[in-house]
A and B are shown apart, each in its own frame.
Chain A
Amino acid sequence: MDNTKIKVDNLNLYIGKQHILKDINIEIPENKLTVILGPSGCGKTTLLKCMNRLTDLYPDVKINGSIFIDNEDVLHTNTDVTEIRKKMGLLSQRPFPLPMNIYNNVAYGLKISGRRNKKALNSRVENYLKIVSLWDEVKDRLHEPASKLSIGQQQRLCLARGLAVDPEIILADEPTSALDPISSEAIEKKFVELKQQYTIVMVTHILRQARRIADHVIFMYMGEVIEQGPAKEIFENPKMERTKKYLQGAFN
């Protein structure tokens, strides 16, 4: 059995009186690509945002339960949120480059945590831009605003920004939904490469994408986890009626 990197224990989440996530219990294996699959509005994104406590931004949200990352409870009030968040790179549905130039977008996370050595910064920025295959496209215009890049390039830049702070986990929320097929493929390929070093959790509603790259699948429906397990088992031999229906529906 693989090592468990993230363990969610009896997680319930309410927004106002609405019960959004119901009794979530999942385990996410280390150095694997885990896909959270399910129709729109089933709570996938919310679950992802719980993991690095971006839910703190929404004052109406109430959470109970725990999320353990390496046996540390993320949701515990004594947990250092910024440290926890540094462990996780986030990639959102659309790229949101920070309002600064390309170089500083990657260096931002390092600079705010106090690393100012110019040489070290330069080499790290170059390194991570190379990892996301963006270096050759931007090396001559590192000091241009990041907003001038194409959407696909921006998304790779956002990935580099997340990787630059040395996370252990990558949280990706439908990272290809705003991208053209070629850019999407580039991101997917990157993910398959990166899972050697990172634990990747990706939310998607695209079944084919899940089939292409998932090692482990968590299927959600209406705020509940219906089924979870290795991708092969879920796709070839779903145990639950809901999962079967969803998989078939997408085939038609």
Chain B
Amino acid sequence: MIVLFYNRKTKNRLSTAWMYVAITLVILLPFMLGIGLYFKSSLLFVDNSLGDLLFSKVWKPSQGKFGFFPFIMGSLWVTVIAMLISAPICIFAALSITQYSKKFYLRIIHPVIDILAGIPSVVYGVWGILVVVPFISNVIAPVFGAKTMGYSILAGAIVLSVMIIPFILNILIEIFNTIPIELTEASLSVGATKWQTIKFVLVKKAVPGIMAAIGFGFARAFGETMAVLMVVGNMVQIPKNVFEAGYPLPALIANNYGEMLSIPHYDAALMFAAFILFVVVMFFNALMRMLIVRYDKY
């Protein structure tokens, strides 16, 4: 029997089978997650229509009114502003590091990025409370004539942008480094300046990669919880400007799960919040993939 078990062919079959199991698990996982979240939140649909859930502004769980619009808007505001801050910074930083800096800087930037990426989310949150929040309330808001405690969409977005910069920057550096130097040479040799070369050739060549990096950053930012909920104010309202407090979806789940579950359907509502996060991130990933295929023709 033992001889049979150690037979080469049996081993081969076993290892192949195990690989199939592994890949099936990986593929099934997101689907199972999605389906699980859907069923867990399906109780909500008994009393509320999907349109009401997504677009109603009324959040009164004790009366059975679950309008997620404020949370969706909170998430979108924070994420989009974080992307608007971090994407240009990352693109210019990556260009500076790969096109202008000496090799020495490339060597030190990688450990620096790794350190930034490794800092726990809660530490960024504390930094946000100690530095960003007072800075907004004392410096930035007065410039725009706004009054705020500082706990705001803007604080969440700034903290978030700092958190995702290392991830986006890392990908972008990789992308610009893989563009062959001969392409730069070709552009320079017909009389282009360095800036023209970057603008018309390198960035254009990198467009699919830049979109992938931004998509990746968006997905991370949309789901980031701890650091954001510490500085964003957590008030159920639709923010009218960046100095108002907001309440993103992940913060809703983290703040309330396990505490308010005595209210009927509350757990289903939190699962629905998770489901929205899940769907948005999936949708965004798919959209980015489509765009990348579309623009990756050069």
Contact = CB atoms under 8 A, between A and B. Distances in A.
Interface string A137-170: 0000000011100000000001001101100000
A54 B193 contact: no
B298 interface: yes
Interface stretch (B153-161, B196-204, B213-221): B196-204
Contacts, number: 80
B201 A92 contact: no
Interface in A192-238: none
A82 interface: yes
Interface string A173-184: 000000000000
A82 B189 CA distance: 8
B293 to A, nearest CB: 14
Nearest to A60: B103
Interface stretch (B176-184, B233-241, B277-285): B176-184
A88 B189 contact: yes
A89 interface: yes
A108 interface: yes
Contacts of B180: 96
A54 B189 contact: yes
A100 to B, nearest CB: 7
B190 A86 contact: yes
B192 interface: yes
Given A57-B184, A92-B185, A165 B298 contact: no
B9 interface: no
A85 B205 CA distance: 22
Interface string B96-121: 00000011000000000000000000
Interface string A71-99: 00000000000110110111010101011
B282 to A, nearest CB: 30
A249 interface: no
Interface in B73-114: 102-103
B212 to A, nearest CB: 16
Given A59-B103, A94-B182, A99 B188 contact: no
A108 B190 contact: yes
A159 to B, nearest CB: 11
Contacts of B298: 99-100, 145-147
A49 B205 CA distance: 23
Given A59-B102, A96-B183, A109 B190 contact: yes
B188 A109 contact: no
Contacts of B8: none
Contacts of B190: 85-86, 89, 108-109, 112, 161-162, 164-165
Contact of B185 (A60, A82, A90, A147): A90
A57 B191 contact: no
A117 interface: no
A92 B190 CA distance: 13
Given A86-B190, A100-B204, A164-B190, A112 B185 contact: no
A61 to B, nearest CB: 12
A102 to B, nearest CB: 11
A98 B196 CA distance: 13
Nearest to B102: A59
Contacts of B182: 92, 94, 96
Nearest to B180: A96
Contact of B200 (A92, A112, A158): A112
A248 interface: no
A66 interface: no
A161 B186 contact: yes
A6 B181 CA distance: 25
Contacts of A109: 190-192
B285 to A, nearest CB: 24
A52 interface: yes
Nearest to B184: A57
Contacts of A113: 191
Nearest to B182: A96
A98 B201 contact: yes
Contacts of A98: 183, 186-187, 200-201
A52 B185 CA distance: 10
Nearest to A171: B189
A94 B180 CA distance: 11
Nearest to B186: A96
B294 interface: no
B185 A165 contact: no
Nearest to B187: A98
B297 interface: yes
Contacts of B200: 98, 100, 108, 112
Contacts of B188: 52, 54, 57, 82, 85
Interface of B: 102-103, 180-193, 196, 200-201, 204-205, 297-298
13 contacts: A57-B181, A57-B188, A82-B192, A86-B190, A88-B189, A92-B182, A96-B182, A99-B183, A99-B298, A112-B190, A112-B191, A158-B186, A171-B189
